[in-house]
Amino acid sequence: MTELHPLTVAERLSPVACAAAKARGKRVSVLTAYDYPGARLLEEAGVDWLLVGDSLGMVVLGYPDTTHVTLADMAHHTAAAARGLTRTPLIADLPIGTYDDDAAAIQSARVLLAAGAHAVKLEGGVSHANRVAALTGAGIAVMGHIGMLPQSVLLEGGYRIKGRTEDSASALVRDALALEAAGAFALVVELVDSAATQRISEAVRIPTIGIGSGEACDGQVLVTHDLVGAFPWFHPKFVTPAAHVGETIKGAVKNWLQQFE
């Protein structure tokens, strides 16, 4: 009998492998990681994929949104997270302004790959399909991102649900199909109406990874700080914290401080 060898990380993030996993009904868990201990703990817990999200701008660096995050920030945190991993695919966000043309996108992606990422994620649908095609053509694995685009939050004036009208839902389906055709291995679908999300998930063969978009996606991604209550000053309406790490830390420190009273 021929021995079956496990897929490498690169093979696991190929569109073919991801589409096959979706066809089998595989659900994909994705959480954010920004440093060595965080990534190591999440790998030990068994999370499928980890994302070094530019959400680190808010929950780690203290910025009001993702638009202040630089490529140097992303490379620094990607390298830290990668040191905590032995087998888990690591995806890193291309920050705003680093993929305005094909050459810049490829150069920026290679910086993140050199830091330890196995793939990159960028925001935009039909408008960025050619950019995704350029990256995948250069041998770089790409995750797409449609719906609410955090890097456009200043232009849009806030975070709003997408896909509530027929026209906008149809446009999102076109976005998803364009990214799939360009070679993306998966799509983040953020803050999209649940009915539109269902249409998107049914339209593409690759996995859809939802965040605030209902239950119709093939997987879910969350900011780990939101899931565990490590950022107690704010949490999205669609997240119910499974722990209250922030309060636990404060309580432990208050107990320690009693020796100084």
CA distance 22 to 209: 11
pLDDT of residue 131: 98
Q: How far is CA 82 from CA 31, 75, 129, in A?
A: 14, 10, 28
Residue 227 lies in a domain: no
Domain assignment present for residue 203? The answer is yes
Paired with 38 in beta bridges are none
The model's pLDDT over 134-153, given as tens digits with 9 standing for 90+, comes to: 999 999 999 999 999 999 98
Domain that holds residue 80: 9-222
Does any domain span residue 136? Answer: yes
How many structural domains compose the chain? Answer: 1
How far is 51 from 34, CA to CA, in rounded Å?
Answer: 8
Q: What pLDDT, on the 0 to 100 scale, is given for residue 2?
A: 42
Say what the pLDDT of residue 234 is.
Answer: 87
- Let me know if residue 4 belongs to a domain: no
Q: Which residues of the chain have pLDDT under 70?
A: 1-5
The owner of tokens 């302004």 is 97
- CA-based R_g, the chain, Å: 18
**Domain for residue 41, yes or no?**
yes
Q: Please list the alpha-helical segments (H only) found in 52-184.
A: 56-59, 71-82, 102-115, 129-137, 153-156, 166-181
User: In Å, what is the CA distance from 227 to each residue of 150, 224, 245?
Assistant: 19, 5, 10
Q: How many residues does the chain have?
A: 261
User: Which one-letter DSSP state was computed for residue 162?
Assistant: B
For residue 31, tell me if it sits in a domain: yes
242 within some domain: no
pTM of the model: 0.94
Query: What digits encode the pLDDT tens for the residues 5-34?
Result: 578 888 899 999 999 999 999 999 999 999
Catalytic residue list: 190
Report yes or no on 260 lying in a domain: no
CATH number of domain containing 183 = 3.20.20.60
